[in-house]
């Protein structure tokens, strides 16, 4: 198997796995079928390419049929992309069926010509890749494909400003995936062959894997990883493994070349393995400290702030001081615009009054969709996620009107004691930040509940 065939097989298997993943995501049903269709078409094309290279390369008749059949699914990729774009803004079903059909019509009309010499002729295998001469209909297909893809990207740009917070991030990922796929095709399939380097031509077509994986990730997430922290962790892992491996290799080299120890002797070899096993935790720990000192530790900042908040909540006996310190620590992680904390009234536990900063605002369990949601679900309310799934329309309206991006419930013994409200200026919080808030919420439940019980006990003793 050639390298070109191996890479194509790998890309094919990844896309096949993406199809299975998409089918398992039921809650994203409205948006899963367009990307499923696109990847399915790509998988069909890759399957015919693999057949051409691995099965029919020695049979000219079947090779011709296979290559031409592979061009058929690519014909429908562009209208599928437009379908995907319009579905992001819930506009696909709004368009009349006749106009939707017009997008697919040129592909349907050109389909019969795919299996003729007007599309591709003089087909053969050269250096592990399929080579053919483009026919006259092929250029009409290229114009149709480029026009619809450009139109789809234009609609993405035009509608991004009005899109939901999550959809905006998805659009950003779609552009990144499209740019990487296009860059791969431009460099490996166009520029390098012009410069005389044609042995890596196949990588250009395989660059579509960037689009399929990145877009699939974007469309089936409403929470996204912080790339800075994710890249940092990858770099740290690689560096500390390299440093640890280098230290042991230098140690082995010195023993073998300078001390002249013969490791072909079983006793010497197993003693070396035993020594590495016993000392590797210490060496790895030292390498880890060296790397953290060299590249910093953005992921450690979250843990450090979380620990400080835990200390504040454990040690405070005054609610005003507790909330003030808590707000400052949260601001180290989340650049919020405003934070408000509400606590339930003693005599009417269904009414919550603003205690930080001190104000006159009230939240009522009977009238507030937000309080009802928190009381029912016992978890934070994320405006971006609720808006994206459109599961609580009345709640979305209330949170949008009151500029609430995140709301944390304060529970104790299954009773809602308070609410923490954040205005994050419509920032889409990453998974790491949401996990941070969830952890803070757990500490807050215990601390506020215990402190309120302590204060109530003190009041009763005074009476």
97-110 vs 136-159: helix axis angle to the nearest 10?
150
With tokens 């609610």, the residue in question is 319
Alpha-carbon distances, residue 364 vs 343, 344, 357, 370, 413 (angstroms): 11, 9, 18, 9, 20
Portion of the chain with pLDDT greater than 90, in percent: 39
- Name the band, by pLDDT with cuts 50, 70 and 90, for residue 81: very high
Mean pLDDT of 362-372: 93
pLDDT in tens, 298-321: 666 788 888 888 888 888 778 888
Calpha distance 367→411 (Å, rounded)? 20
* 300-462 matches 3-221 in CATH topology: no
Contacts of residue 336, Cβ cutoff 8 Å, sequence gap at least 6: 330, 405, 422, 423, 424, 425
The answer regarding whether domain 300-462 maps to CATH 3.30.450.40 reads yes
- Class (C level, CATH) for 3-221: mainly alpha
Q: What is the pLDDT of residue 53?
A: 67
Q: What is the pLDDT of residue 359?
A: 83
- Per the model's pLDDT, the better-predicted residue between 52 and 360 turns out to be 360
Are 412 and 445 a contacting pair, CB within 8 Å?
yes
Spacing of C-alpha 169 from chain mean position:
9
Q: What is the mean pLDDT of the chain?
A: 85
- Name the band, by pLDDT with cuts 50, 70 and 90, for residue 119: low
Q: What is the pLDDT of residue 360?
A: 83
- Name the band, by pLDDT with cuts 50, 70 and 90, for residue 459: very low
Looking at 26-30, 88-92, 215-219, 403-407, which range is the least confident one?
Answer: 26-30
Mean pLDDT of 138-162: 88
Calpha distance 248→273 (Å, rounded)? 10
Q: What is the pLDDT of residue 456?
A: 56
Q: What backbone phi and psi angles, to 5 degrees, belong to 296?
A: 85, -175
Q: What is the pLDDT of residue 361?
A: 87
Mean pLDDT of 401-420: 91
Domain ranges for the chain:
3-221, 228-296, 300-462
222-232 per-residue burial string, b: 16 or more CB within 10 A, e: under 16: bbbebeebeeb
- Name the band, by pLDDT with cuts 50, 70 and 90, for residue 122: low
3-state per-residue secondary structure call for the chain: CCHHHHHHHHHHHHHHHHHHHHHCCHHHHHHHHHHHHHHHHHHHHHHHHHHHHHCCCCCHHHHHHHHHHHHHHHHCHHHHHHHHHHHHCCCCCCCCHHHHHHHHHHHHHHHHHHHCCCCEEEEEEECCEEEEEECHHHHHHHHHHHHHHHHHHHHHHHHCCCCCHHHHHHHHHHHHHHHHHHHHHHHHHHHHHHCCCCCCCHHHHHCHHHHHHHHHHHHCCCCCCCHHHHHHHHHHHHHHHHHHHHHHHHHHHHHHHHCCCCCCCHHHHHHHHHHHHHHHHHHHHHHHHHHHHHHCCHHHHHHHHHHHHHHHHHHCCCHHHHHHHHHHHHHHHCCCCEEEEEEECCCCCCEEEEEECEEEEEEECCCCHHHHHHHHHCCCEEHHHHHHHCCCHHHHHHHHHCCCCEEEEEEECCEEEEEEEEECCCCCCCHHHHHHHHHHHHHHHHHHHHHHHHHHHHHHHHC
Calpha distance 43→14 (Å, rounded)? 10
pLDDT in tens, 276-288: 989 988 988 888 8
Are 32 and 88 a contacting pair, CB within 8 Å?
no
Q: What is the pLDDT of residue 322?
A: 87
Q: What is the pLDDT of residue 132?
A: 62
Mean pLDDT of 248-253: 91
Contacts of residue 454, Cβ cutoff 8 Å, sequence gap at least 6: 317
Around 211, how many Cα atoms within 13 Å sit in the side-chain half-sphere?
21
Residue 134: strand pairing partners: 120
Q: What is the pLDDT of residue 397?
A: 93
For residue 457, count other CB atoms closer than 10 A to its CB: 10
- Name the band, by pLDDT with cuts 50, 70 and 90, for residue 424: very high
- Name the band, by pLDDT with cuts 50, 70 and 90, for residue 41: very high
What pTM was estimated for this model as a whole? 0.80
Q: What is the pLDDT of residue 299?
A: 65
Are 422 and 333 a contacting pair, CB within 8 Å?
no
- Name the band, by pLDDT with cuts 50, 70 and 90, for residue 458: very low
- Name the band, by pLDDT with cuts 50, 70 and 90, for residue 454: low
Are 125 and 51 a contacting pair, CB within 8 Å?
no
Q: What is the pLDDT of residue 142?
A: 82
């Amino acid at each position: 198997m050639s390298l070109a065939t191996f890479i194509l097989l790998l890309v094919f298997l990844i896309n096949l796995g993406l199809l299975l993943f998409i089918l398992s995501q039921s809650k994203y049903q409205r948006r899963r079928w367009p990307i499923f269709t696109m990847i399915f078409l790509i998988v069909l094309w890759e399957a015919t390419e693999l057949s051409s290279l691995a099965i029919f390369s020695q049979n000219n008749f079947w090779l011709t049929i296979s290559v031409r059949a592979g061009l058929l699914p690519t014909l429908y990729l562009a209208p599928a992309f437009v379908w995907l774009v319009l579905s992001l803004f819930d506009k696909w079903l709004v368009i009349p069926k006749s106009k939707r059909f017009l997008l697919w019509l040129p592909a349907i009309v050109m389909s019969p010509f795919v299996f003729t010499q007007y599309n591709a002729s003089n087909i053969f295998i050269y250096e592990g890749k399929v080579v053919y001469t483009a026919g006259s209909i092929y250029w009409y297909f290229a114009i149709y494909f480029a026009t619809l893809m450009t139109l789809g990207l234009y609609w993405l740009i035009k509608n991004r400003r009005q899109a939901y917070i999550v959809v905006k991030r998805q659009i950003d990922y779609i552009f990144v995936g499209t740019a990487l796929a296009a860059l791969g095709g431009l460099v490996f399939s166009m520029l390098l062959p012009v410069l005389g380097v044609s042995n890596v031509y196949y990588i250009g077509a395989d660059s579509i894997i960037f689009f399929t994986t990145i877009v699939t990730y974007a469309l089936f997430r409403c929470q996204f990883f912080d790339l800075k922290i994710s890249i940092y962790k990858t770099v740290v892992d690689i560096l500390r493994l390299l440093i640890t491996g280098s230290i042991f290799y230098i140690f082995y080299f010195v023993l073998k070349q300078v001390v002249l120890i013969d490791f072909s002797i079983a006793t010497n070899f197993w003693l070396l393995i035993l020594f590495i096993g016993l000392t590797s935790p210490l060496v790895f720990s030292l390498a880890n400290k060296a790397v953290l000192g060299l590249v910093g530790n953005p992921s450690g900042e979250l843990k450090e702030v979380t620990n400080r908040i835990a200390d504040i909540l454990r040690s405070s006996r005054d609610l005003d001081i507790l909330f003030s310190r808590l707000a400052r620590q949260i601001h180290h992680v989340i650049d919020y615009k405003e934070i408000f904390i509400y606590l339930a009234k003693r005599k009417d536990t269904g009414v919550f009054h603003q205690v930080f900063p001190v104000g006159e605002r009230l939240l009522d369990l009977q009238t507030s969709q937000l309080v009802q949601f928190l009381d029912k679900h016992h978890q934070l309310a994320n405006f971006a996620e609720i808006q994206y799934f459109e599961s609580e329309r009345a709640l979305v309206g209330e949170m949008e009107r009151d500029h609430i991006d995140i709301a944390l419930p304060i529970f104790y013994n299954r009773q809602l004691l308070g609410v923490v409200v954040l205005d994050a200026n419509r920032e889409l919080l990453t998974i790491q930040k949401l996990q941070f808030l969830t952890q803070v919420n757990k500490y807050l439940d215990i601390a506020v509940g215990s402190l309120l019980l302590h204060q109530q006990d003190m009041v009763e003793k005074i009476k």
